[in-house]
Amino acid sequence: MTTYVLDGGRIGTLDEFWMLMGEAVNGPGGYFGRNLDSFADCLRGGFGTPDDDGFAIDWRDHESSRRALGHPETARHLEGVLARCHPTNRARVAEELAQARGGRGPTLFCILTEIIENQAPGALRLR
């Protein structure tokens, strides 16, 4: 089984998560998603993960990542989503943004770990 190591101490923003996850799987400058949907797609295979023997993601110092990808970073992310989303989604995204600004609702860390668990059950190892 292939293990990809993610250094959570180096993650301060969602953009840094994308960069480090891409490097962990596909080497320097590697791609492994740049948004939540493409990340889920990559976890399903074909973007660097092995198809035959499976893989694990060893997320070290995940508590640092949990803090960095908390409600403030979630709110920053949602501000960008709100600026680009379809008008029919604005009310929902605005509500999610209000919750994140108030320190409520799911954080990016929670969303990312849920995506990993849904797309690659059992692959995530939080250290």
Contact 32, 26 (CB under 8 A): yes
Mean pLDDT of all residues in the chain? 95
Mean pLDDT of 17-36: 96
Least confident of 4-13, 30-39, 49-58: 49-58
Contact 99, 75 (CB under 8 A): no
Residue 46 pLDDT class (50, 70, 90 cuts): confident
Which domains are seen in the chain, by residue range? Answer: 2-69+107-126 (3.30.370.10), 71-106 (no CATH)
Amino acid at 35: N
**pLDDT, tens only, 56-115:** 999 999 999 999 999 999 999 999 999 999 999 999 999 999 999 999 999 999 999 999
